[in-house]
């Protein structure tokens, strides 16, 4: 359904109807409206939702398009501009090189799985720190090494490079001989 101003509002509730996501509407005046709180909010408020683990979707009221990713990227840009950046220029350049390449989807999945692994380990660390911190760090480091090795093997296999025998980098000499 379209209102006289051209906004497609019939599609907006559908985003929230199928999930328990909180709906944030972005109006043409660039303001964000939290439908659960019935008030306008800022990017700082959305950042707080993220930190609290609240599921939400941001929808453009004109087009009905889900713009959650764009809003999250905007928050990341603001975080990177202030304080100590999380991403180095070298890391960002590497990420850009993956766009449009044959392994873009694989790389996106690798990053997503790596972030999930890191979050799980972080939670385990919080739970374990009540015990001996040095022992906990040693166990976590060993577990991380095992998990990263497994992820790396999966990444190489999915890219058609087989496993990572001898832990040599891709394109390296896997037989251990040089030159």
**Structural domain includes residue 154:** yes
Paired residues of 22 in beta bridges? 56
Q: pLDDT tens, 22-50? A: 999 999 988 999 999 999 999 999 999 99
Domain that includes residue 71, residue range: 12-81
**Which of 43, 61, 81 is a domain's end point?**
81
Mark whether 115 and 96 lie in a shared domain.
yes
Q: pLDDT tens, 112-148? A: 999 998 888 888 777 776 567 677 778 778 888 888 8
Q: pLDDT tens, 147-163? A: 888 888 888 887 777 65
**Structural domain includes residue 151:** yes
**Which of 40, 59, 81 is a domain's end point?**
81
Sign, CA dihedral 77-78-82-83, equals: negative
Mark whether 68 and 107 lie in a shared domain.
no
Confidence class for position 14, pLDDT limits 50, 70, 90: very low
E strand or H helix at 79: helix 68-81
Mark whether 45 and 112 lie in a shared domain.
no
Choose the weakest-confidence range: 36-45, 64-73, 76-85, 147-156. Answer: 147-156
Intra-chain end-to-end CA distance of the chain, in Å: 68
Mark whether 111 and 159 lie in a shared domain.
yes
- How far is residue 134's CA from residue 105's CA, in Å, rounded to a whole number? 38
**Which of 39, 56, 81 is a domain's end point?**
81
- How far is residue 87's CA from residue 91's CA, in Å, rounded to a whole number? 6
User: What pLDDT score does 163 carry?
Assistant: 59
**Structural domain includes residue 7:** no
- How far is residue 23's CA from residue 14's CA, in Å, rounded to a whole number? 10
**Structural domain includes residue 171:** no
pTM for the whole thing? 0.61
For the chain, what is the domain count?
2
**Where is pLDDT greater, at 168 or 95?**
95
Residue 87 DSSP label: S
Q: How far is CA 126 from CA 21, 53, 61, 67, 140, in A?
A: 27, 17, 40, 33, 11
């Amino acid at each position: 359904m379209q209102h006289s101003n051209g906004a497609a509002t019939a599609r907006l509730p559908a985003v929230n109807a199928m999930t328990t996501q909180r709906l944030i509407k972005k109006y043409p005046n660039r303001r964000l409206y939290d439908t659960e709180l019935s008030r306008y909010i800022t990017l700082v408020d959305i950042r707080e939702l993220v930190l609290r683990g609240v599921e939400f979707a941001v929808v453009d009221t004109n087009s009905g398009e889900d713009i959650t990713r764009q809003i999250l990227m905007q928050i990341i840009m603001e975080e990177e501009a202030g304080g100590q950046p999380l991403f180095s220029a070298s890391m960002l350049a590497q990420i850009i090189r993956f766009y449009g390449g044959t392994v873009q989807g694989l790389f996106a999945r690798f990053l997503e799985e790596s972030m999930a692994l890191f979050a799980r380990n972080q939670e385990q660390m919080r739970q374990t720190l009540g015990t001996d911190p040095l022992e906990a760090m040693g166990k976590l480091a060993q577990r991380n090494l095992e998990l990263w090795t497994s992820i790396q093997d999966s990444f190489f296999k999915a890219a058609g490079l087989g496993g990572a025998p001898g832990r040599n980098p891709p394109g390296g000499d896997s037989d251990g001989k040089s030159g």
